[in-house]
Structure formats: C-alpha cells, structure tokens
Structure 1
Amino acid sequence: MSVTTLCQVCESATANYTCDACGAAVCAEHYDRAAGLCVSCAAGSRR
C-alpha cells in the first residue's frame, strides 16, 4: 500500500517533490527544479 501526499500549496495535485529549504511537499507546478525550492521559498530567495 502506498501513501500519496497532496501538494501543500494547491492541496489538489500529488506532491512529487520536497522543498530543500522548508521541507514542504509540493507538485511539479509549485516546485522550482533549478533552485530545489517550492515557489514560496524560491520567491523569498529572489528578494
């Protein structure tokens, strides 16, 4: 039996990634692959 986790941003898509900064489980749409961060952390790192 596998357990699927929902994206912590949109709460509708399956989370396939984990943010390197905050540990949030996020889907591909809310993950910045180049940075290894969720969109929230990626936005904060660009300030």
Structure 2
Amino acid sequence: MGVAGLCEICESRAADHRCDRCGTIVCLLDYDAEMGLCADCAARAKPDDRRGDTFRL
C-alpha cells in the first residue's frame, strides 16, 4: 500500500509512512519506525509497567 501526499505533521515533506495507531500519513522525520507510530503518538506512548519492552498508549 503506497502513501501519497504531504506529511500531516510538518506539512512540508512528502509522506511515506502511515501511523499504525492513528492512521496519520507522515514523512520519515515525523515517523518512529521502531514503534510504527507518528511523532505525536510516539511522544504519548509510555513504557508498560509490567514489561519494559512493550508500550501502552
């Protein structure tokens, strides 16, 4: 599935990723590839208290 258009966060670079949580299309700089989330969702993610290697939103 291709992603087309401008990044919905910075609105200046071409979008090439889609956030797994909210569906926002974002550029490489506004995407956290390790988490699969846009910068906004990644900033709100908190480490899960039960397991340090997972995240709870």
What TM-score, normalized by structure 2, do the two folds share? Answer: 0.73
Shift of residue 46, structure 1, vs aligned partner: 2.6
Structure 1 or 2: more helix by fraction: 1
Higher relative contact order (CA 8 A, sep 6+): 1
**Cα distance in 1 between the residues matched to 2:32 and 2:46:** 12
- The number of residue pairs the alignment matches comes to 44
Aligned identity (percent) is: 45
In structure 2, the partner of 1:22 is 22
- Where is the strand percentage greater, Structure 1 or Structure 2? 2
Superposed CA RMSD: 1.2
Aligned twin of 2:51:
none
The TM-score, its normalising length taken from structure 1, stands at 0.87
Task: Give the distance between the partners of 1:45 and 1:10, measured in 2 at CA.
Answer: 20
Runs (5+) with no aligned partner, structure 1 = none
Q: Which runs of 4+ in 1 moved over 4 A?
A: none
Unaligned runs of 5+ in 2: 48-57
